[in-house]
Amino acid sequence: MKSNKKMGLVFFPAFDWAISPTHPEREERLLYTQDQVSEEGLLDIDGIIELRPSMADFSDIDRVHICVPQAQKVTTVSHLLSAGGAIAAADAVMTKKVDCAFALVRPPGHHAMRVVCGARGFCNVNMEAIMVEHIRHKYGRKRVAIVDTDCHHGDGTQDIYWHDPETLFISLHQDGRTLYPGTGFIPELGGTNAMGTTINIPLPPHTSEEGFIYVTENIILPILKDFQPDLIINSAGQDNHYADPITDMNFSAQGYAHLTSLLQPDIAVLEGGYSIEDALPYVNVGIILAMAGLSYEHVKEPDYDPVRIRQSNKTTDYIKEISEKILCLYGEAKCRRGLFIRERNSVTRERRIYYDTDDITEIQKEEITVCDKCAGTIVIDSRSDKGTICAVIIPRDACDSCTTEGRERFARLDRQKYDYVYLQDRVEDNYIREGRK
């Protein structure tokens, strides 16, 4: 048997890591998936190869995150290996060893924002962002689209790419009014310099295959076509499944495989999904077959019944309605980008960020320089139990004026006011952290 696309699989189940023994994010989360993948003989298929994870290093993390107090303190080896797994998948694709790759790794990362004071929604650092910035650092400038199909809003990835016009972030998820983290609404369209490169598709509870495929065909694919990415990344969370214990959706293995075959991601990275026995084994086999361009028609959960899980007509109508609204706002957002630029020099937002897994509250003020030549320099003021910090972020390919402004502002920072100050200089790939003098 031979696959139609050459596919790489990084399988790192971290059988010896858990948040706690009965936590959903625990040792055996991928155990039954590994059983199913082994028993189906997927790795014997010509064209599907297993890749060994590498270990990410702290510079990979510092390229994306501002860790308080530092990367070494907010991560464990498992996080470096999970990120390293995503990086191994990316390297195999970028060097053309394979056509596409799937990193079946844990722990997940899509709730991890730019500033990391602890763990949020089982996530400490953002695997996709670490991988994408590794790609850009190693292989040059790329337009990247990240499509997050986890049931929870990918608020971490959204935060990291909020101001980046070269990264399109699309999240489809269960409506934030009914599920953690309570964000990801339609008007969240991106920051001043990147309006329209963040898209949120909040779906009502009990959405089934029909609804997911509808928004994929009618929102995601057209916007991807418009954006023209060099790479499509899928944050492949699997908690939209009807058997998932912590969500309320009605998606299936067949649906996930179909969605994957429509999306044709270059790299997929596992996110959530906690029905470890009844959903994950089948969803993962479906995704792997779909990525490899093979038939997945017989991949079904033992209790799969498409009629039983079908969404109501009301849900179908509602999804059509929000789809129109999203497409309309997407069109407007691109025009609004210009308006801001004429009006202001900088834009500020202030937020309170709660780290539910570690019970930490952070108060954050973020100021972005309005710029029509680059993503704009960002200055972040953050205070939490972990310390008071200030970080200056000069984006990749920053224009001269934003670069100069960033470096000057970092030099001028009042070191006495903060426990730590950070410079994340992406132009020079230079990361500085200084403690209070």
What are the residue numbers of the active site? Answer: 111
- Contacts with Zn ion by CB under 5 A: the residue count is 11
Pairing state of beta strands 346-355 and 360-369? antiparallel
Residue-wise DSSP of 206-267: T-BHHHHHHHIIIIIHHHHHHH--SEEEEEE--TTBTT-TT---BB-HHHHHHHHHHH--SE
Q: In this complex, which beta carbon is closest to Zn ion, that of residue 150 or of residue 166?
A: 150
The DSSP secondary-structure symbol of 345 reads S
Distance CA 347, CA 367 (A): 6
Residues 373-392 that bind Zn ion (CB under 5 A): 373-374
Q: Does 371 engage in binding with Zn ion (CB under 5 A)?
A: yes
Residue 203 touching Zn ion (CB under 5 A)? no
Sign of the C-alpha dihedral, residues 253, 258, 261, 263? negative
Q: Are 422 and 116 in contact (CB under 8 A)?
A: no
Q: Applying CB under 5 A, which part among 4-12, 126-134, 268-276, 311-319 lies near Zn ion? A: 268-276
Q: Which is nearer to Zn ion, 86 or 402 (CB)?
A: 402
Closest CA to 75 of 194, 253, 84: 84
C-alpha closest to that of 8 among 101, 96, 91: 101
- CB nearer to another protein: give 139 or 304: 304
Residue 402 contact among Zn ion, another protein, none, beta carbon within 5 to 8 Å by kind: Zn ion
**Stretch in the footprint of Zn ion (CB under 5 A) among 80-88, 233-241, 275-283, 349-357:** 233-241
| Nearest residue (CB) to another protein, 124 versus 171 | 124
Name which of Zn ion, another protein, none residue 321 binds, using a CB cut-off of 5 to 8 Å depending on partner kind: none
Summarize as ranges the residues that interact with another protein (CB under 8 A): 1, 11-17, 21-24, 26-28, 31-32, 34-36, 38-42, 44, 50-53, 55, 77-78, 81, 245, 277, 281-282, 285, 289, 295, 298-302, 304
44 contact, one of another protein, Zn ion, none, CB 5-8 Å limit per kind: another protein
How far apart, in whole angstroms, are the C-alpha atoms of residue 323 and residue 215?
Answer: 7
Number of Cβ within a 10 Å radius of residue 176? 18
- 239 interface partner picked from Zn ion, another protein, none, CB below 5 to 8 A per type: Zn ion
Cis amide linkage into residue 69, ω under 30° from 0: yes
Please compute Rg for the chain using Cα positions.
21
302 makes contact, choosing from Zn ion, another protein, none, with CB < 5 to 8 Å by partner type, with: another protein
Q: Note whether 241 binds Zn ion by CB under 5 A.
A: no
**Residue 272 touching Zn ion (CB under 5 A):** yes
Q: How far is the CB of 98 from another protein (least distance, A)?
A: 15
C-beta closer to Zn ion: residue 292 or 374: 374
Closer residue to another protein in complex, CB, 42/199? 42
Using CA atoms, how far apart are residues 157 and 146, in angstroms rounded to an integer? 9
**Burial zone of 310 (CB within 10 Å; 0-12 exposed, 13-18 middle, 19+ buried):** middle
Q: Which does 412 bind (CB under 5 to 8 A by kind): Zn ion, another protein, none?
A: none
Assess 280 for contact with Zn ion (CB under 5 A). Answer: no
Note whether 399 binds Zn ion by CB under 5 A: yes
Taking the complex as a whole, how short is the minimal distance between the CB of residue 212 and Zn ion, in angstroms? 15
Q: Per CB under 5 A, does 344 bind Zn ion?
A: no
Q: At what angle do helices 31-40 and 280-291 cross, to 10 degrees?
A: 50
Query: Looking at 67-75, 192-200, 237-245, 297-305, which segment touches Zn ion (CB under 5 A)?
Result: 237-245
* Spatial distance between the Cα atoms of 430 and 425, rounded to a whole number of angstroms: 5
Closest approach, Cβ 78 to another protein, in A, equals 6
For another protein, which is the closer residue by CB, 225 or 298?
Answer: 298
- How far separated are the first and last CA of the chain, in Å rounded? 64
Q: Give the type of residue at 189.
A: L
**Kind and range of the H or E element at 391?**
strand 387-394
237 binds Zn ion (CB under 5 A): yes
- Considering only 25, 62, 150, 164, the residue that binds Zn ion (CB under 5 A) is 150
Q: What are the start-end ranges of the E strands in 95-205?
A: 100-105, 115-116, 144-148, 167-174, 198-203
| Interface residues toward Zn ion, by CB under 5 A | 150-152, 237, 239, 272, 371, 373-374, 399, 402
